[in-house]
């Protein structure tokens, strides 16, 4: 008896995806619940798991685009013993081999700290997708373990060293009349890689935002002294009580909600000939991953405590890095916050996340001299940027919003503090 492995529905607007990597190989024994492959769509990456025990027989190759409902593999429940027998036979020592030779080979095949069994889920995912040999990756982690950075570095180094004859030929064949495509080169000076569905969707969204909205950005700055002092004072007790650290993002979410209540149009959107005013506060928090930027949504941010906000943000960040976000966790946001400061950005003009009408850009905290009461002092300052749809948000409203955020951060005790 066999069980078909079909591409599940992962969202109303998603009709296809790409089998980015098989975690189990054809002919391999699998157990119910084991991750079989990663399905990458234009919105999210999802791990598809086995629904039964048995032997896997794959029908779709890695990198192949598949439709929702398409059968990509089968699990043979009754043929497990037959399928796995040849693999066991290959590992058996020849009858004429000496006991010492068998022992030596056994020692050489024993796992080391850098084998797949010692890899974390995040590292294993990169190793599988990039088809790396874990034994050839130098681990810099504790006890020589391979870290995520080690795996990414190995993948990058290999891509620079690999020959690219096939890609070069493909580039020439795919070029349309009058179109010039840079071919890949054997020396690694040019590398051609197909754009992932997620990256294609990001590109489409960014271009659509620029073409459909009248985007304008206004700036302000805030003194982080008070919020830093409050955070440092409450950190130990907050961590002990909630099991996680108090960050800056929860303060900005609270300050943003207060500002959206003061300037409601920024929490709305245009829908055809109508303006839709949202009287709820589902705040998207942009998270960068090696596959691209995703924006999971913190639901009901106005009703959540600081601990709830920090927990939601931390959970979403972890899911995003591991590619385990669900489509519903990315939909329905009313406003977005993007923190380029974690990468060292001092100032930027963020692009709207359609159909939203506003996005707040946070930046690097940097000590700068400023004038306070006629004296020059050095304070930890952060530039704030609000990009908004000028069709429905006027400059006065945008400035009012930023000032409200600034006031919440500079006098954090005015926020609904609950720790």
Residues taking part in catalysis: 390, 394
Cβ neighbors of 47 (< 8 A, separation 6 or more) are 23, 35, 36, 37, 38, 39, 323, 324
**Residue 30 bridge partners (DSSP):** 54
In 3D space, the residue among 26, 13, 29, 100 whose CA is nearest the CA of residue 59 turns out to be 26
Name 265's Cβ contacts closer than 8 Å, sequence gap at least 6: 275, 277, 357, 392, 393, 397
**Cβ neighbours of 90 (radius 10 Å):** 7
Furthest C-alpha separation in the chain: 92
Specify whether the CB–CB gap between 256 and 337 falls below 8 A.
yes
User: 307, 238 in Cβ contact below 8 A?
Assistant: yes
Beta carbons within 8 Å of 276's beta carbon, 6+ residues apart: 268, 269, 270
DSSP letters, 77-113, are SS-HHHHHHHHHHHTSPPTTS-HHHHHHHHHHHS--T
């Amino acid at each position: 008896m066999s069980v078909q492995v079909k591409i599940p529905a992962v969202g109303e607007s998603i009709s296809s995806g790409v089998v980015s990597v098989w975690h189990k190989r054809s002919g391999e024994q699998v157990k119910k619940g084991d991750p079989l492959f990663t399905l990458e769509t234009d919105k999210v990456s999802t791990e598809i798991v086995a629904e039964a025990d048995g032997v896997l027989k794959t029908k779709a190759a890695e990198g192949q685009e598949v439709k929702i409902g398409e059968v990509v593999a089968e699990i043979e429940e009754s043929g497990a013993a037959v399928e796995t027998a040849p693999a066991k036979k290959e590992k058996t020592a020849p009858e004429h081999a000496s006991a010492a030779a068998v022992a030596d080979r056994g020692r050489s095949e024993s796992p080391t700290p850098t084998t797949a069994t010692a890899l974390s889920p995040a590292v294993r995912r990169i190793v599988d997708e990039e088809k790396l040999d874990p034994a050839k990756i130098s681990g810099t982690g504790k006890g020589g373990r391979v870290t995520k950075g080690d795996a990414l570095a190995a993948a990058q180094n290999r891509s620079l060293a690999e020959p690219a004859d096939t890609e070069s030929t493909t580039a020439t064949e795919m070029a349309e009349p009058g179109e010039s495509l840079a071919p890949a080169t054997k020396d690694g000076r040019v590398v051609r890689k197909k754009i992932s569905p997620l990256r294609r969707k990001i590109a489409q969204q960014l271009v659509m935002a620029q073409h459909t909205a009248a985007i304008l950005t206004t700036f302000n700055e805030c003194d982080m002294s008070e919020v830093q002092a409050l955070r440092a004072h409450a950190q130990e007790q907050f961590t002990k009580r909630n099991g996680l650290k108090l960050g800056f993002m929860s303060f900005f979410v609270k300050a943003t909600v207060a500002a959206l209540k003061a300037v409601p149009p920024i929490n709305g959107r245009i829908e055809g000939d109508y303006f839709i005013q949202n009287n709820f506060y589902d705040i998207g928090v942009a998270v960068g991953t090696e596959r691209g930027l995703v924006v999971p949504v913190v639901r009901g941010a106005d009703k959540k405590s600081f601990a709830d906000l920090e927990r939601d943000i931390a959970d979403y960040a972890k899911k995003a890095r591991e590619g385990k976000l669900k489509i519903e966790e990315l939909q329905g946001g009313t406003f977005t916050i993007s923190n380029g400061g974690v990468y060292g950005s001092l100032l930027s003009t963020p692009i709207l996340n359609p159909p939203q009408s506003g996005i707040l850009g946070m930046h690097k905290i940097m000590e700068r001299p400023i004038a306070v009461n006629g004296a020059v002092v050095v304070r930890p300052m952060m530039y704030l940027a609000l990009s908004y749809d000028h069709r429905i948000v006027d400059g006065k409203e945008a400035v009012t919003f930023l000032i409200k955020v600034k006031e919440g951060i500079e006098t954090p005790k005015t926020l609904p503090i609950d720790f």
